[in-house]
Amino acid sequence: MKVVVQRVSKASVSIANEKVASIANGLLILLGIVDEDTFEDIQWLTRKVANLRIFEDENGIMNRSLIDVDGDAIVVSQFTLHASTKKGNRPSYIKAAKPDVAIPLYEQFITELEAQLGKKIHTGQFGADMQVELINDGPVTIIMDSKNLE
């Protein structure tokens, strides 16, 4: 399971020109799922995301987590995070989990992150053609993969 976490001053998701989610200060989380992902991957990543100290404290040091700043989050499914570009110029998405595997894990990720944060998480719509707008604050962008626990 892979995430791209972006600290944002605002972000939104639209589908067919209709805004379905928006936040101010918080995190935009792009989530990619593979067949091998498990509940343990979800637990590790949601704990890391909720406690990642990438928000500034009173001294301007990145020392606060999403929990500490009471920030919001948007989770967007993104199968392209598992693209393979080794051969040719057309990415292969063979590693990305199919919807029957990915949807339950995506929903479980959201539920676990809500439990970590103690609040509702905003989302896009799994499988939809979404337009994601954001102002990356910093910019701060962190990539984490539950298969690389380093």
Average pLDDT, the chain: 95
80 annotated active-site: yes
On the question of pLDDT at 67 being above 80, the answer is yes
b/e per residue, 55-82, with b = 16+ CB within 10 A?
bbeeeeeeebbbbeeebbbbbbbbbebb
Q: Taking the chain, what is the end-to-end CA distance rounded to the nearest angstrom?
A: 14
Amino acid identity, residue 119? K
Pairing of strands 26-32, 62-64: unpaired
Q: What is the mean pLDDT of residues 2-30?
A: 98
Which structural domain range is residue 120 located in? Answer: 2-145
| Digit-coded pLDDT (tens) for 25-54 | 999 999 999 999 999 999 999 999 999 999
Alpha-carbon distance 64 to 52, whole Å? 8
Residue 104 lies in a domain: yes
Does 58 map to a domain?
Answer: yes
- Does residue 96 lie in a domain region? yes
Residue 65 has a pLDDT of: 98
The CATH number that applies at residue 110 is: 3.50.80.10
Domain count across the chain: 1
Is 77 a residue whose pLDDT tops 70?
A: yes
Q: Tell if the pTM clears 0.75, that is, is over it.
A: yes
Secondary structure of residue 42 in the 3-state scheme = helix
Q: What percent of the chain has pLDDT over 90?
A: 95
Query: Does residue 150 fall inside a structural domain?
Result: no
Can you give the pLDDT at residue 5?
98
Element (H, E) at 141: strand 130-145
Evaluate whether residue 52 is within a structural domain. yes
* Residue 150 in this model has a pLDDT that exceeds 70: no
Q: Which residues contact 10 (CB under 8 A, 6 or more apart)?
A: 22, 23, 24, 25, 134, 135
- Which member of 38, 80, 111, 141 is catalytic? 80
pLDDT of residue 148: 82
Report, as an integer, the average pLDDT of 47-65: 97
